[in-house]
Amino acid sequence: MWKPMIPTLVDEPPLKKNWIFETKYDGFRCGLSWTSEDIKLISRNQKDLTENFPEVVEWCKSQQHKIEDLLPLFIDGEIVILRTEFQAIFDLVQQRGRIKTKKKINQAKQNRPATFMAFDLIHYQNHDISNQSLRDRRKKLEQISQHLQTENFAFRRPFNLVQQFNQYDEIHGVIKLHQAEGIVAKKTSSPYSNGKRTNDWVKIKNYRMVQGAITNWNANNDYFEVAYFNEDQFNTLGKVKNGFKEKDKKTLITFIQEHGEQTSSSLWSVHPSACIDIKCLDAKDGELREPFFHQFRFDLEPDDVTKDLVREGLAQLPKEIELSKPDKELFPHTTKRDYVLYLREVAPILLPRLQDKRLTMIRYPDGIDEHSFYQKHLPDYAPDYIQTVPGDEDEEDILCQDLKVYYGSVIMRHWSFTCISNHTLFLSR
């Protein structure tokens, strides 16, 4: 019986030789059992997911003639619904897992097909190869992928091979850009340890940092409830329990008991007061996903912890970027903050298309209805991290190679004029 090898959560990646790095996808861990007679998807808890994701099975059957001599196989991977090559949307795959009727499943697979992201091989030609090194297992998995013609990623294809990176620095920027769940680092010499949590595989989560004001404490389960300020009232952000040092937790509980009130046998309520930083994967509909207390924020008042502050934290804007006048309206009902957060959302799609291209800005110094002109050279007032290449007449042309420059170029435009183009962020040549 297959039980997945489980990575250990760590704060820092291993930087020694003989480690590789892969995207940690946000989906369902799943084994693909592929024989000549049958194809099944099995969850980490031995639940049969075959009927939930028929598009994966149908695709495998259509390609089976290409690898008939390699069967039976058992492939370890992740069932995901992708937003980009490196970012999966957990809510969507979770919804798919709950659908029971064939009609709705068929509708869902047409609207947003799932993908099996393969990353390891346990059985090959009916042989258990779990004792072989990851390096050797990967070679065989890549051989299978070549036969299936899946070496290169295809967005709507139900089967893809997880890309490996040899250096942490190579994958780190990709994960940040795509806001993926995290990174899994694997020792290339490691065997497959069935059902064990091991230090041969480790995971580094790509946590977002959000702020919340503490409003409740539940003595039964030790959860603290936090809120944010929006439209003259506090709304629930979620609950957090893990990450507190014992001394800090006792101090906080004492504060709540002294300044709050007991509303039931186990629940204490306090007026929003203490503000904290929370690491999490997401915050939505009054729930925090995998929250951890990070630190107290004595520099913040509860009213400072706004919905917009939470939005900025979830967006993971580059630290070098300081957003001035964020509430300034650039378009009808659209502030500078809204615009910047939208640019962050589309950055994984837009930024790769700007790589190595010289960029031209359209400037409207007197507003979008007045005279405009083009600027392709780097101005004197530009941030020093804007990347350039030599241009005409000893000038420097602007490049946009990473998130820092992507936002620096946007914000640079607001230092020199008050309105921006209605049409496009950049023109490229």
Mean pLDDT rounded to a whole number for the chain: 90
Sign of CA dihedral 361, 381, 415, 321: positive
**pLDDT higher than 80, residue 259:** yes
**pLDDT higher than 70, residue 421:** no
On whether the pTM is more than 0.85, the answer is yes
Q: What is the rounded distance in angstroms from the CA atom of residue 393 to the CA atom of residue 381?
A: 19
The pLDDT confidence band at residue 166, using thresholds 50, 70 and 90, is: very high
- In this predicted model, what pLDDT tens digit does every residue of 290-316 receive, in sequence order? 999 999 999 999 999 999 999 999 999
What per-residue confidence (pLDDT) applies to 410?
54
Q: What is the rounded distance in angstroms from the CA atom of residue 202 to the CA atom of residue 10?
A: 6
**pLDDT higher than 80, residue 225:** yes
**pLDDT higher than 50, residue 422:** no
Phi, psi of 240 (to 5 degrees): -140, 140
- Choose among 313, 319, 317, 176: nearest CA to 238: 313
> Across residues 412-420, what is the average pLDDT?
38
**pLDDT higher than 80, residue 127:** yes
Q: What is the rounded distance in angstroms from the CA atom of residue 359 to the CA atom of residue 375?
A: 9
Helix or strand holding residue 195 (H, E): none
What per-residue confidence (pLDDT) applies to 368?
67
- What string of DSSP letters covers 57-92? HHHHHHHGGGSGGG-SEEEEEEEE-BSSSS-B-HHH
> Across residues 56-79, what is the average pLDDT?
98
**pLDDT higher than 70, residue 47:** yes
What per-residue confidence (pLDDT) applies to 357?
82
> Across residues 118-123, what is the average pLDDT?
98
What per-residue confidence (pLDDT) applies to 380?
77
What per-residue confidence (pLDDT) applies to 371?
85
What per-residue confidence (pLDDT) applies to 412?
46
> Across residues 73-79, what is the average pLDDT?
98
**Which domains are present in the chain?**
6-205 (3.30.470.30), 212-314 (2.40.50.140), 329-428 (no CATH)
> Across residues 160-189, what is the average pLDDT?
97
Angle at 67 between CA 65 and CA 68, to 5 degrees: 65
Give me 359's structure tokens. 């960029």
- What string of DSSP letters covers 352-364? GGGTT--EEEEEB
Q: What is the rounded distance in angstroms from the CA atom of residue 257 to the CA atom of residue 255?
A: 6
- Choose among 281, 286, 256, 291: nearest CA to 271: 256
- In this predicted model, what pLDDT tens digit does every residue of 339-378 receive, in sequence order? 889 989 999 998 888 888 887 777 777 766 788 888 778 7
Cβ neighbours for 340, distance < 8 A, ≥ 6 positions apart: 317, 323, 326, 407, 410, 411
- In this predicted model, what pLDDT tens digit does every residue of 185-200 receive, in sequence order? 999 999 999 999 999 9
**pLDDT higher than 50, residue 413:** no
Cβ neighbours for 93, distance < 8 A, ≥ 6 positions apart: 26, 27, 28, 79, 80, 81, 114
Give me 280's structure tokens. 């999490």
